[in-house]
A and B are shown apart, each in its own frame.
Chain A
């Protein structure tokens, strides 16, 4: 057998992890609950993004001759108090919810990972200060900060993403730091240091592959949290400005008419938020189970 000589630095340090990746994916797919989550999320994506192409009705036109109409052939889910088509609104509202949810989670994941890795790698007083800042921000419930920020910056979609990400990164950074603290003392990292690999490279090539699973799980739950937070803010009247429809705002409008028994204004938007939460939480649980089994 011919001995292959590899440059020392390029020895695949995390080969066990790579070998098991097919198993990981299989475990992820095997769970019925995960499949249910993926199917539900796909349905929601199709409903919001493909739906408007098939059901061509404006979400922001007021049908003043048909306000507060109950569901009929013309308006499958009725209209609201100013004659907006509820079904069309649900579809368009889904677009902004999903876009903002995923974008906020991605921003939070990137920033939180960077922050947590720096804190964990640095150690010492820098680590203490960085983590104390996270503690401080975490001790005020995020909805209180989000409400305030939304008053200060009149939100558009970009600002909304940044505002939601501004509280969502905290949990991610804590998790990443904890993972870095346990990983950075392992032999393969020490070996990399001994070989003179630069710190940035150690972080990207040696630590990141080992913590990416945890980050991915956390980010998945952040998507659900961001969608919920945005719906909550809109419900409290501080979401994206009109005319952009969104689920939380629709629900809070519907609440004003609940004594008139207008169920079509209350059940559909609430159900959409619930389906988004359930589907993403199921996927997150599936990912977590698959990763935890790998580590066992």
Chain B
């Protein structure tokens, strides 16, 4: 077991390096030099040559990569072109906002998807199951950004219940906890709805298989209540694939967060990235790409290790 965990960690190290190399190369595909962007109107060939030297841009590419990598390892992601702040401080400002909506949405979506999928599998091919399947399909195919726009129309324009964007009501002198929560509901709701649909479909088929197993029949024969049969005996095994699925769905969750943050003007990592792309702020683009790659690799690693811990049938 320990051996497997160590091997799995070692396996992900080349991927991490690959991610850094990829984002470094992507930035260097960009035509035009960063010196020109940095100097702007103050551009003269002499100043450009000086700045290239201080930034180390006249060194060979592989040396630049190593220097950059060394900086990243020490937590230095460089300096933003547009904000006059370090990339790390900008990311630390944005990160908590993204974590809040993604984590809350994922937890709610998991609980609800497990419940819905299980109940659907139990009442397989009844009217309830068919209607739920159609609704799932609808949300599964729904573009995240359109869903987010619709939520704004329904719940902040037609029914003026919730704010349409931002994180606080700037007109309040002392916006409290309730205000913060009310700004979270729609972004979380959008991410929740698009995640539930896929997971519930998966859970339904997983539970359907579990309900056909012998141990479920045994549980019924010894007189266990149906509720106990589904949510204790069958659930334990059918929930396992969802752990892997969570690791695999991290990239799509982060893309979803990007769209949601853009629609709700919610100052998280996605919005920061989108702004950076629009203003060609390459240090931020590089920093976020590397960071998101790390998160994804780490998420998959944790999901795999968790899976091996909770499923005693797997031998390594």
Interface residues of A (CB under 8 A from B): 132-133, 135-145, 147-148, 151-152, 224, 228, 231-232, 235-238, 248, 251-252, 255, 258-259, 261, 266, 270, 273-274, 277-278, 281
Contacts and interface: CB of A to CB of B under 8 A. Distances in A.
A270 B258 contact: no
B293 A139 contact: yes
B285 interface: yes
Contacts of A231: 143
Interface stretch (B1-9, B100-108, B110-118, B147-155): B147-155
B157 interface: yes
B263 A139 contact: no
A122 B290 CA distance: 30
Contacts of A135: 15, 18
A248 to B, nearest CB: 8
Contact of A136 (B22, B149, B263): B22
B296 A274 contact: no
Closest 10 CB pairs of A and B: A136-B18, A277-B141, A141-B251, A270-B146, A143-B255, A139-B296, A141-B255, A278-B141, A141-B254, A139-B293
B142 interface: yes
Contacts of A224: 141
B5 to A, nearest CB: 18
A258 B18 contact: no
B289 A270 contact: no
B296 A141 contact: yes
B140 interface: yes
A266 B153 contact: yes
* Among B143, B252, B277: residue with most chain A CB under 10 A: B143
Contacts of B252: 141
Interface string B238-270: 000000000000011011001100110000000
The secondary-structure label for the interface of chain B is: helix
Contacts of B157: 258-259, 261
Contacts of B144: 232
B61 interface: no
Contacts of B15: 132, 135-136, 139
Interface residues of B, number: 45
B143 A232 contact: yes
A140 B138 contact: no
Nearest to B258: A143
Contacts of B140: 281
Contacts of A266: 149-150, 153
B36 interface: no
The secondary-structure label for the interface of chain A is: helix
16 contacts: A133-B18, A138-B251, A140-B293, A141-B258, A144-B292, A152-B30, A152-B31, A235-B143, A236-B259, A255-B263, A258-B149, A270-B143, A274-B143, A278-B137, A281-B137, A281-B140
A140 B259 contact: no
A255 B149 contact: yes
A277 B143 contact: yes
Contact of A141 (B262, B292, B297): B292
Contacts of B297: 139
A148 B251 CA distance: 16
A185 B73 CA distance: 43
B75 interface: no
Contacts of B31: 152
Nearest to B14: A132
Interface string B156-172: 01000000000000000
Contact of A151 (B137, B149, B280): B280
A217 to B, nearest CB: 16
Interface string B1-31: 0000000000000110011001100100111
Contact of B277 (A238, A261, A277): A238
Contacts of B146: 251, 270, 273-274
B251 A142 contact: yes
Contacts of A281: 137, 140-141
A196 to B, nearest CB: 37
B265 to A, nearest CB: 11
